[in-house]
Each structure stands twice: as C-alpha cells, then as structure tokens.
Amino acid sequence: MLPFSLIYHDGYDLHFGQHVFPTQKYRLIRHSLIDDYFAGPEDFITPEAATRDELLLVHTPEWVRKMETGTLTYHDILKLEVPYSRKMVDAFWLAAGGTILAGREALVRGIGINLGGGFHHAFPNHGEGFCAVHDVAVAVRVLQKDQSARRALVVDCDVHHGNGTATIFAEDRDVFTLSIHHQNNYPSEKPASTIDIHMPDGAGDGEYLGELGPAYETAVAGFRPDIVFYVAGADPYYDDQLGGLSLTKEGMYLRDKLILDGAVKRGIPVAVVLAGGYARNLDDTVFLHAQTAKAALESYKEWK
C-alpha cells in the first residue's frame, strides 16, 4: 500500500468529445498505475465535489450561477474553448474537491496527489483555456479559511503560463506563485506571477532544469510555505501538440523530482495536480502523468 493517497473520481472525465484535451486520460492514468503494480484499488480515494460556498471563496456569484444554470454567454464559451454541459460543470467541481482533498492529505501524510485538477487559466469571473474552476486557488482558500495552512507556494510547471493563478493571488502576500512556461504560447497576456520564467522556443532538459532549480530553491527556502501546490503539467514534453518546449521523458522525471524533493526534504507538505497534457500519442501523456506519481513515491522514500 502506498504511504500517501491518490485522489480520483470517474466523473473527472469532462466529456469534451473530439477535442485536443483528452479527458479520458484520468481513467487511463488510474488503470496504468494499477496495471504497473504501482498502486492497488485501495490506494485511491474518492473526493466529493467542492461546495458552492467553497467555490465562492475564489469565484464570483455570477460566474458560479452561470455554471449552475447553464447560462454561459457565447463570449463565455468562446473564451472557455470547450462546449458547455452539465457533466462538464460537475467534472470541474469534482476536480476542485479533489484538489482540496489533496491539500488535506498532504498536510497529514506529506504528499497528496489529485489525478485531476490544475485548471490554472480560470479567473474569478470567467473561464479560459479549458479551465472553468480554479481548483488550486479554491483549495488554497479553503485551507486558509479553516486555518490548516496560511502560506502557500504554487509552483506551476505546465507549459502554459498560469494567468488565472497570477491574477487571483496578485495582492496576497501569503501566496507565492512561480510559473515556468513557454514564452511564445498561450495565453498572449501573462500577468505577473511572483516569479515568472519565460522559456524560449524548443528549450530542452538542461536549459529548463537550469532555470527552474535556482528559482524554486529561492522560493521554497525564502518563502517558507506551509504547503506547496505543484501544477505538474505533462505538456513541456517535446511531442506535445500544444507545447513548444523539448523536454524528454527523463527530463520530465527530473523536473518532478526537483519540485518534490525540494518540499519533502524540508518537511513541507506537497499537493500535486496533473494539469495539461496533449501529446500526439495519448500513451505518452498517460506515461508522463503516471511518472509524476512514481517520482512522488521516490521522494517520499528518500526524505520521509
């Protein structure tokens, strides 16, 4: 049995149909981890959906109402870039519940991994870029409200800049945001994170890790967070359809280890969300996300 929990719900599938975002990946990641004998069914725990009150810690009443009632405007759906459905909304609320649970599990067991989540383009009053609910921000606010954790470090290693994250926490001195991303990529407007690392076209393992390591060390050692939220996108991979960087599978593993080791060795809880991944071969996306869970176990064994 694993020393930490994997959080998953069959409802994580956003039911986008024929879409570049393969939302069936969540189910496939779970199957992969079981098929590889990394985890058993008993290692997975099922979250409840975030409540309306929890979502309102981040999102405006009007945006929550639109999601509840299916009254998104044409402009709303255009920015969101996914078709509206009730199942889609349910999946986002479940993902937020899963990230809250990952945070709580991390505080108790050192690591918590949500196989969904990482919807970092969501803003308080609208969605963008496949993201309707900012699950990480909701989880941070829930933990702050119940005084489980005050200072949070959000480390975003998705290939796309965390514009929603930067905006939501811009004035909050208790939340440190770090985003490393492909500069010439979505979104076109990149509001300032606490630290932004703008990577050039085609940057590979060495350049990427060389930039990430010192910045993360500065953040985690200097800020001294109560918890780290790690947005572990699989899309910096060289064969990602929406990427632009050139990390290998080994480089992605080293990235995961760098983030996880930096927290776990200091006794800082780390909650992981898997975020984006759009490889031309879906098996590669599944492999990379599963590899993040395996890196977490290695960090746990080495430092706990």
Output the pTM of the full model: 0.97
Instruction: Tell me whether residue 278 is exposed, middle or buried, using C-beta atoms within 10 angstroms of its C-beta: 0 to 12, 13 to 18, 19 or more.
Output: buried
Distances (CA, A) of 85 to 16, 71, 132, 262, 270: 9, 11, 12, 40, 32
What percentage of the chain exceeds 90 in pLDDT? Answer: 93
142 has pLDDT over 80: yes
pLDDT at 222: 94
Cβ count near 135 (within 10 Å): 33
Distance (Å, rounded) from C-alpha 160 to C-alpha 278? 12
**Angle in degrees, CA 107, 108, 109, rounded to 5:** 105
Band (17; pLDDT cuts 50, 70, 90):
confident
Distance (Å, rounded) from C-alpha 252 to C-alpha 265? 20
Band (15; pLDDT cuts 50, 70, 90):
confident
Query: Which helix or strand (DSSP H or E) is residue 7 part of?
Result: strand 5-7
16 has pLDDT over 90: no
73 has pLDDT over 90: yes
The structural domain count of the chain equals 1
Nearest to 47 by CA among 117, 151, 143: 117
In DSSP terms, which residues pair with 123 in a beta bridge?
126
Instruction: Please give the average per-residue pLDDT across 242-246, as a whole number.
Output: 97
82 has pLDDT over 90: no
Distance (Å, rounded) from C-alpha 252 to C-alpha 247? 6
pLDDT at 169: 98
The average confidence (pLDDT) of the chain is 96
Contacts of 243 (CB under 8 A, 6+ apart): 159, 182, 185, 235, 236, 237, 278
Band (209; pLDDT cuts 50, 70, 90):
very high
Which CATH number characterizes residue 96's domain?
A: 3.40.800.20
Distance (Å, rounded) from C-alpha 128 to C-alpha 133? 9
Query: Which helix or strand (DSSP H or E) is residue 104 part of?
Result: helix 86-109
Query: Which helix or strand (DSSP H or E) is residue 293 part of?
Result: helix 282-303
Q: What are phi and psi of 294, to 5 degrees?
A: -70, -35
Distance (Å, rounded) from C-alpha 104 to C-alpha 296? 16
Contacts of 80 (CB under 8 A, 6+ apart): 72, 126, 127, 128, 129, 130, 131, 132
Q: Which residue range forms the structural domain that includes residue 20?
A: 5-303
Strands 5-7 and 44-45: parallel
The answer to whether 130 and 289 have CB atoms below 8 angstroms apart is: no
